[in-house]
Amino acid sequence: MKLVFSVLLITILCAFTLPLDNNNTANNPFFQEWKTPYQTPPYNEIKNEHFLPALIEGMRKQKAEVDGIINNPVEPTFENTIEALEKSGELLTKVNNVFSNLLSANTNNELQNISQESSPLLSKHYDDINLNEKLFSRIKTLYDKKNTLTLNSEQKRLLERYFKDFTRRGANLNAEEKDKFRKINEELSALSLKFNENVLKETNSFMLIIDDENDLSGLPASAINAAKEEAVAKGYENKWVFTLQGPSYRSFIRYANNRSLREKIYKASNQIANNDNEYDNKTIVQKIISLRSQKAKLLGFKTFADYVLDDYMAKNPQRVYDFLLKLWEPVIIKAGREIQDLKEFAVSEGNTSKFEPWDLSYYAQKLKKAKYNLDDEMLRPYFKLENVFTGLFAIVNKLYGIQLVERKDIPVYNEDVKVFEVKDSEGRHLGLLYADYFPRDNKQGGAWCGVLRDQNNLNGIITSPVTFNVGSLSKPTSDKPSLLTLREVETLYHEFGHALNNLFSNVTYPRLTGANVAWDFIELPSQIMENWATDPEVLRMYAKHYQTGEAIPDELIKKIKDAELYNIGIATTSSLLFPALIDMDYHTRTDDSLFDIRAFEEKTFSKYNLVQELGSPYPSTQNGHIMPETGGYAAGYYSYIWAAVLDADAFELFQEKGLFNKDVAYSFKKNILEKGNSDDPLVLYKLYRGREPKVDALLKKLGVN
């Protein structure tokens, strides 16, 4: 699941002069104090034309602020250099956080054009500050004498982070190398924008239009009704339309009896941006991988993975490979057995054709129903979105004492969006959460969490966080509310865990706040929340039938628990381990030349003996986690399974002490959720757990111990 944290905007940006375009500035909301509750974005006033002038003015203002730091005749101090950098760029960060969110969650052609125009300006902006010799000299002076400075632990951490950030962004390069570095960053930024646009456009270009009702055989009524409404919305009367949006695609691939149509929609999904047309991303992927390799070598690293991991918990590629391959062997064996079970079941069902990837989800649902008398449609009535929210709020209230109250007086960017005020155990304002959960043609697929405003306590003034969760869950229809699958429930819990990380943050400096942590630590707060979603005690709290209000029956809860390990080998292989391995293979390349992406993928499938029936998990041309710079997971996709070790080990303490044990919850909140990046992740984890993490709990959870 994708995460968007505008990490680059939390760092210091640029130093070059741009004139302010005075057109429409008087009515530009970004140049005025926001009178909305908690100074939230006035989306009802913000127009597309406001962004570019505000971005330019934000860069101009920060240039002046950074120039003031560089030209300060006073010897560098923590306050006049590091704190001053933290305080700079307020307008730019404010504008870009709003813009980035809309670009991903509610985009249009005009916003995409603005992004294309502003991207090279911002790329230069970032590089001008990161590559400024005078500024880096001030930072290095402080870093070299850090042990003699009177700094608290958070200030020392911030100084260390700035020094490392600047060195990793080219501050030590010579003039010629800096010029190359700038060009690489600018090209990567442009390629990333084009990559995302191609994925979105190709996703939206496909429709499976059905006019024969017989082709709907096997599909649940909820999917049929949704397809009918989609057809009407797209101007097709008396037809049904299925798309590549998550809920629509998943329903069809799992339930449709028409095998040829399953093949059609599967291949359309699997080949997104890989069709040798105007939206093809293969060349873009080649260039991104090559440029990253060049960038890493400029900075003195053997590969891009070495560069990335030097700043993560794992530290180096070999440690990641050792970790992944230790899990790969037992998990791929388990996946192979599960595939064989599905193939045998398919034959028993009369399928004498070769078992293909578009058969996997279909027969997986059927076999699950046969073995456990359980499928997603049996559970949907108990997972009404509003009930899931109510239950989730009750859980975090029991754990942490917080309350969430919907605020209808705060402007939103789309009618699907809801806003919740989060209050602490004393009823005091803690922050705001925007929830945007339904798919749209103008929204990127997947699910993610981000920020509109980071928590900080600069100048002793508390700035409360504003965070958002975005997803593509099952939409309501004309006759039913939004009824989720169990996996969608877990996704909602997952993203809410990220939101808690932002909401509970209690640090002084924005650079260290919330989820601005090592990337292989970032998934702990989110993944641990998923454990509560399916706990029997918790299910009884929130899983109520949307029509009768009756709690989910114990027999259904038992079926959920009995089926907990069903096809877990397939799921872990295709969604976690294999994407992590191919990510590492891409980013440990030492050859900077362009290469055949299809051949590379096929070679990787063979190298790891990937089960053919799994198809091509998360193909490179649409992998929004590792390919575009905005994805954040390049050479870091392993973070999900790495964090699975942490979350299983961390949740085990709740299992030992009690699911809602106040002491354990307080320790997790105090040592993990509140601390952000104010200390080393392993130090924080040990403060919570009392020891380093162990893999045992995960192996047990995967059923391979």
For the chain, state the CA radius of gyration: 25
Nearest alpha-carbon partner for 568 in 507, 630, 641: 641
Cα torsion 396, 401, 407, 411: sign: negative
Q: Provide the annotated active-site residues.
A: 495
Instruction: Name the phi and psi angles at 491, rounded to 5.
Output: -65, -45
User: Which amino acid, residue 351?
Assistant: N
Q: Are strands 466-470 and 429-436 parallel, antiparallel or unpaired?
A: parallel
Region of residue 235 (phi > 0: left; psi between -120 and 50: alpha; otherwise: beta)? left
H/E stretch holding 634 reads: none
Distance CA 306, CA 293 (A): 10
Helix ranges, 206-281 (H): 221-233, 246-255, 259-270
DSSP state of 100: H
Secondary structure letter of residue 430 according to DSSP: E
Residues 6+ away with beta carbon under 8 Å from 417:
434, 435, 436
Count of beta carbons in the 10 Å neighbourhood of residue 350: 7
As a whole number of angstroms, the distance between CA 705 and CA 700 comes to: 5
What's the per-residue H, E or C state across 281-295?
Answer: CHHHHHHHHHHHHHH
Q: In what order do the strands lie in the sheet with 448-453?
A: 403-406, 418-423, 429-436, 466-470, 448-453
Helix (H, G, I), strand (E, B) or coil at 23: coil
Q: Are 82 and 159 in contact (CB under 8 A)?
A: yes
What length does the chain have?
Answer: 705
Indicate the pairing of strand 418-423 with strand 448-453: unpaired
Q: What is the secondary structure of 536-564 as a DSSP string?
A: HHHHHHH-B-TTT-PBPPHHHHHHHHHTT
* Tokens linked to 400: 């942490």
Nearest to 673 by CA among 658, 684, 686, 659: 684
Is residue 101 within 8 A of residue 450, CB to CB? The reply is yes
Q: How far is it, in rounded angstroms, from Cα 9 to Cα 11?
A: 5
| Count of C-beta atoms within a 10 Å radius of residue 403 | 17
Closest CA to 442 of 469, 414, 419: 414
The end-to-end CA distance of the chain, in Å, is 26
